[in-house]
Amino acid sequence: MGRLRADAERSMRAIMAAAEEVLSANPVATMEQIAESAGVARATVHRRFASREALIEAMEVTAWREIQEAVHAARPHTAPALVALHQATANILQIKPGWRFTLAREVPLSHEAQAVRAEVMELCESVFGKLLGPGADIVWARQAYLALLGEAAHGSPPGFDADALATKVLDTLMYGVQRTA
């Protein structure tokens, strides 16, 4: 019985990975195109995901859970703010490129993904509050950080050094582009 669960999990992961790749290239791709890319029958995709929207929702939940785990691994409640932010940034930079299509949505389809995303954003703002102090525009800092993070994640070559790139993102955010050259 456990083997079926593991096989089903691998199948779902393979379908989501294929969907991410196919939908990144063609956002209107069909379930049949996704199944073909995953190397499974269309019926297998439909057995795991009732609809294209259900597949995208599952992808969103999975991606945002990975981001959430990456942020929690940085110990935002206990580590010094800059240390936590650096570690979270390095962690996210390793995840984000694998979810280009899925994480591009401003508001996820799934209520569960929306809740996870909201918790991640609250943690981000909490760390910025500690780092920047009273009177800082925390929402603006978060937006600027997310823009830099997105550019870094999507402009990085394969095999990039996440720690060095995280340093560059945070130096640019905190000090501007002159210090990062």
Residues 3, 87: one domain? no
- Lowest mean pLDDT: which of 68-82, 95-109, 121-135, 158-172? 95-109
Residues 63, 45: one domain? no
Asked whether 105 and 157 are in contact (CB, 8 A), the reply is no
Q: Using one digit for the tens of pLDDT, what is the confidence trace for 96-129?
A: 999 999 998 877 888 999 999 999 999 999 999 9
Asked whether 14 and 41 are in contact (CB, 8 A), the reply is no
pLDDT > 50? residue 1 = no
Residues 107, 135: one domain? yes
Residues 159, 80: one domain? yes
Confidence at residue 177, expressed as pLDDT on a 0 to 100 scale = 76
Residues 82, 171: one domain? yes
Cα→Cα distances 113→60, 103, 106, Å = 6, 10, 11
Q: Find the CATH number of the domain harbouring 80.
A: 1.10.357.10
Residues 86, 174: one domain? yes
Asked whether 12 and 48 are in contact (CB, 8 A), the reply is yes
Would you say residue 54 lies in a domain?
no
Residues 78, 1: one domain? no
Asked whether 171 and 179 are in contact (CB, 8 A), the reply is yes
Residues 42, 105: one domain? no
pLDDT > 90? residue 179 = no
Residues 4, 93: one domain? no
E strand residue ranges, the chain: none
Confidence at residue 96, expressed as pLDDT on a 0 to 100 scale = 92
Verdict on whether the full-model pTM lies above 0.85: yes
Residue 42 lies in domain: 1-49
Mean pLDDT score across all residues of the chain: 90
Confidence class for position 180, pLDDT limits 50, 70, 90: low
Number of C-beta neighbours around residue 168 at 10 A:
18
Residues 154, 128: one domain? yes
Report the pLDDT averaged over residues 76-81: 95
Residues 88, 43: one domain? no
